[in-house]
Amino acid sequence: MKKMLITGGAGFIGSHAAEYFANAGYNVKVFDNLSRALLLKKEGNLNHNWDYLKQKGSVELIKGDIRDQQAIETAAKDCDVILHTAAQTAVTTSLVDPREDFTTNSLGTFNVLEAARKNNVKSLIYCSTNKVYGHNVNNIPIKESKTRYDFEESFKKGVPVDFSIDHCEHTPYGASKLSGDIYAQDYSCIYGIKCGVFRMSCIYGTRQFGVEDQGWVAWFVIASLLNKPITIYGDGKQVRDVLFVNDLINAYDLFLKSNLKGGVFNTGGGPSNTLSLIELLEIIKTKVGSIPELKYAGWRPSDQKVFVSDITQLKKRLGWLPITKPEDGVSKIIDWSKKNINLLK
């Protein structure tokens, strides 16, 4: 039985991965410092996914911080795979407290990679982000319609993995995640660890406790169900390719089963699964019956008007394509949120 360590395993993506790989026959250990409420500056119990996994009983839970080198090295002992999802995830938080962002995303990732190297871990998946491309994405020509922006025809497949990351603003979050991205690639080349770098676009799904600064699809659903005002930064026409979490975990699984020695993948819903903020609100209004009060504010630093992932490499090298359409994924979030409304208040 293969052993897997999932950092940040009590988070949204990490907990779904823990459940999936435990069901697939892995011996799964979850490593998490349970800091979600502090990071997102939100009161209440944000450790639902930790409690959820505890009830399952098939996953070992370890409370620890990736910034603690000894703790992560001990947790990685005898593991075959590390799935590194632990991170500071909000751009706005990185602007307010760049040191916290750096120590978590840059130093924390270095500690995880060192834990893999010292323990002879064979495979590692690094959760990167589309923010590694920074403000350069806004130099791509776009066209505007009533409800959205879109890339011009020359980028109809989306942003490729060889798109420039240089000479532009990234925000501290983008910079810290990029450092981990490059380090993961280097550890693959130098130390022979099978590293998959997944530059993720907008991942959404059930058990996602979205807030204004992070997890916007889930946040719009939660705010609508609780009748909390929603602030639109910009004009609401900004577009992302959205990817349901189950489809993401499937991509991880295909990579681990593949003969690839490593790879960098832009990971999102691709051109066939895009939403603007305005379009998401229309879907919610149709399915819920109403949306709350909308407020408008200025664009945030390095906000990309459009980001769509070119997922050609995932299709070509792993035979992967997303399955869940945005309307279906949003419906699943609505259904889960209604059943668990007391957790969201």
d(CA 114, CA 123): 13
Q: Exactly one of 26, 173, 204, 252 is catalytic; which is it?
A: 173
Burial 147-170 (b: 16+ CB within 10 A, else e): ebbbbeeebeebbebebebeeeeb
Cβ neighbors of 11 (< 8 A, separation 6 or more) are 32, 36, 49, 85, 86
d(CA 115, CA 112): 5
Q: Tell me the β-bridge partners of 7.
A: 31, 84
Retrieve residue 96's tokens. Answer: 């307010």
φ/ψ bin of 71: left (φ > 0), alpha (ψ from -120 to 50), beta (otherwise)? alpha
Give the distance from CA 343 to its chain's centroid.
21
Retrieve residue 267's tokens. Answer: 């990971």
Retrieve residue 40's tokens. Answer: 């997102």
Active site residue 252: no
The angle formed by the CA atoms of residues 154, 156 and 160, to the nearest 5 degrees, is 85
CB 62 within 8 A of CB 75: yes
Alpha-carbon dihedral sign for residues 323, 329, 333, 335: negative
SS3 291: coil
d(CA 308, CA 326): 14
- Active-site positions read 173
